[in-house]
Structure 1
């Protein structure tokens, strides 16, 4: 097999490397912050600032996802996770919003970690493509995050 075969593993993409560096910065910043309340308040501000940086339509969708998650699952704490808005329970990420722009994808993603209680039989969805956040989509997100922490 030739070493120039383009179908082989070529390492992380530039976007993936940037996300890992961003995560390392997030961990360092969190470790330097003061009390638990200070950390929580600053984490919310960090998430809102990250959302504000997003280009449209990602920003609009992220704002709606943030509002729906915080209203329907108040036990989830907003935080940055690999440079993305995420929502954690006891420090462990349950769900996150990934903008389309982040990894040059054609759609944004609402993803759930293995911490989310979405289990349905032997197979279930753990990520959802988003192209627009309508009232129906908001209702589906609300139901998912309630189930995820249920």
Structure 2
């Protein structure tokens, strides 16, 4: 049978009718492209929470000689290197506070790095709190003192 050819398959564009092995017309023809498109569009879209199920978010308080030693800039550099989202800021009490969010291994590595800090820092305490309800934002940033 000759007919107009599909540009993709080089086959005639005709309705697909399949005969069953016993001689009649198959009552269940293969689905058309329209029904496939409808089925694909009715699937639930994945949200960020289902794709990134393994996300850990913690708030960290760092005490000691951590202000005036480039601790925040060091934190921004390390957090971005590890692919984390969140923020870091100084506090009026002399401590540094940060929010880290990302893959659990990366967050734990950042916690280990914060225990030492940059070369001129002297960390005396590091407190870690779960912070699953806080929004870490889209990247890692330095925030003003609070």
Structure with the bigger percentage of strand = 2
TM-score range, shorter chain: under 0.3
TM-score (norm 2): 0.25
Q: TM-score, normalised on structure 1? A: 0.24
Higher Cα Rg: structure 1 or 2? 2
